Amino acid sequence: MTILPEAFVSEMKEILKSDYPLYEESINKDAYRGISVNRLKAEPQELIHMLPFQVSKSPFYRDGYYINTDESGIGKLPLHHAGAFYVQEPSASSAVSLLDVQEGDRVLDLCAAPGGKSAQIASCLNRTGLLWSNEVVKNRAQILLSNFERMGIPNGVVSSCYPDVLCKRLEGAFDKVLVDAPCSGEGMFRKNPEAVGEWSREHVLSCAERQLSILNSAAMAVRDGGILVYSTCTFSYEENEGVVSRFLSEHPEFEMCDISEPFGRKTQLPCAVRITPIEGGEGHFAAKLRRRGEALRGSFFISGKAQSVKDSRMTIAKKELSDIFKDIPEGRYEIAGDKLYIMPEEIPELGGLNVIRAGVLAGEFRKNRFEPAHSLFMSSPPDSFRRVLDLCDADSRVYDFLHGMETDCETENGYTAVLYSGIVMGFGKCSDHRLKNKYPKGLRI
């Protein structure tokens, strides 16, 4: 049974007023669990019928669902390996609803690991525009990259920079910026009861200082007329309304946006919502701000369609790519060392920033060969390949493949995309009806 700290109880009574007893009643009940569907891989209506558990629609995001199952086994499902969905606490999806991402937007997700909100943004961008996801903590940035690859995000950048360094360099570059800030995590008490013991007023106040500093940096990256969404998974006034009010008083160039989202509870600010277990989520706060001014886009993006790289190795790569794909993927090809990348159509100068991935890693040059990469297959539509091995639930080769084993294969010889019920989950190389497994070792089950 969870015993809440007294100072936290007073804070919650102040925020929830006469609803407080409902919150107290909820604290020893099960936490809400959820998923968000990745439309780069599957249509929500099709996916929910393929899942081996029941789902019901959540109010927080167009493609968000409650699940009624323990999360532990979900990571082993083929649909999860294929990136068809992301396991996400239902109310955590609300911030991207406020961000209102449209196709073609340039979006910065400044505190992005492990990548739940980036996955939502990429799904909304639908292979257009640009998603720049940043995570300052290096090992968390690697987890972010791995989720980027699993979700098959083609038009993205993953970096690991301090917010002030990154946002100064990318001043005015983004239509939309999300700051999902590190916080005291009061909305995680049911999911992670140990967090209750770690809670203190001092921590809340120190989080608020850090959040304001991140938000001040984020402001630089928003173009005139652009949107800045600030979110946390905590309830406290200081980390939420307090940070937003202090930010607005220091930044008259920003204004509040009126929001009319059909979820959450009203806050002391017209531009923000708070979600507690009473409203059907574990806990989130999100506020929407706008930089005043004309809707002008940053002008320093390099652009270039299907530009050719002057490197003799491109001939080898193109030969292999035209054997894999019906049409060679469009984009700006770049070679760095032994690696070939397909860059987003428009991208800022990257020099001097700690960028760990820009665009899609298409493959590597090994001696006189080009070896395609897992990310190339994951980010390409199933109908773009010349050869596919489409497996379904009843086929034991699904798990053989995810275990890294060699399997039978009906296709012609050559690199072959491996699909699970029509969704790409990896690739192999077919030779005489046997598929040599290319599923990355670190991802195998």
Decide whether 109 or 346 has the Cβ nearer to ligand SAM.
Answer: 109
Cα 158 from Cα 295, distance rounded (Å): 26
Question: Helix, strand, or coil here: 289?
Answer: strand
Size of the site for ligand SAM (CB under 6 A): 16
Q: Closer to ligand SAM at the Cβ: 111 or 222?
A: 111
Contact region for ligand SAM (CB under 6 A) — 105-113, 150-158, 187-195, 290-298?
105-113
Q: CA 439, CA 418: separation in Å to the nearest integer?
A: 10
As beta bridge partners, residue 291 has 254
What amino acid occupies position 40? L
Task: Let me know if 233 is a catalytic residue.
Answer: yes
Residue 139 as a binder of ligand SAM (CB under 6 A): the answer is: no
Cβ atoms 430, 414 nearer than 8 A: yes
Considering only CA atoms, which of 156, 38, 145, 151 is closest in space to residue 378?
151
Supply the minimum distance, in Å, between the C-beta of residue 244 and ligand SAM: 16
Among 11, 63, 89, 135, indicate the residue that binds ligand SAM (CB under 6 A): 135
Q: Is 115 near ligand SAM (CB under 6 A)?
A: yes
As given in the structure block, the two tokens for residue 442 are 């670190």
- Which residues contact residue 74 at a Cβ distance below 8 angstroms, ignoring those fewer than 6 apart? 35, 67, 80, 87
Site string for ligand SAM, 192-221 (x = CB under 6 A): ------------------x---x-------
Among 55, 101, 112, 243, binds ligand SAM (CB under 6 A): 112
Q: Please pick, from the candidates 127, 142, 182, 309, the single residue that binds ligand SAM as defined by CB under 6 A.
A: 182
CA atoms within 13 A on the CB side of 286: 30
CA distance 427 to 445: 16
CB of 417 to ligand SAM, least distance (A): 28
**Per CB under 6 A, 39 contacts ligand SAM:** no
**Which residue of the set 167, 233, 257, 271 is catalytic?**
233
Q: Assess contact for 154 and 121: CB atoms under 8 A.
A: no
**Cα radius of gyration (the chain):** 23
User: Given the complex with ligand SAM, which of 8 and 148 has the nearer CB atom?
Assistant: 148
Shortest distance (Å) from residue 409 CB to ligand SAM = 36
Nearer to ligand SAM, 112 or 286 (CB): 112
- Cα–Cα distance for residue pair 250/245, rounded to 1 Å: 9
Residue 34 is a binding residue for ligand SAM (CB under 6 A):
no
Among 107, 113, 130, 353, binds ligand SAM (CB under 6 A): 113
Give the whole-angstrom CA distance, residue 404 versus residue 418. 12
Q: Which of 136, 151, 259, 321 binds ligand SAM (CB under 6 A)?
A: 136
Contact string 149-178 vs ligand SAM (x = CB under 6 A): --------------x---------------
Q: Determine the angle formed by the axes of helices 116-125 and 138-151, rounding to 10 degrees.
A: 40
And the tokens for 76?
A: 């082993």
Q: Tell me the catalytic residues.
A: 233
- Chain residues that interact with ligand SAM, rule: CB under 6 A: 111-117, 135-137, 140, 163, 180, 182, 210, 214
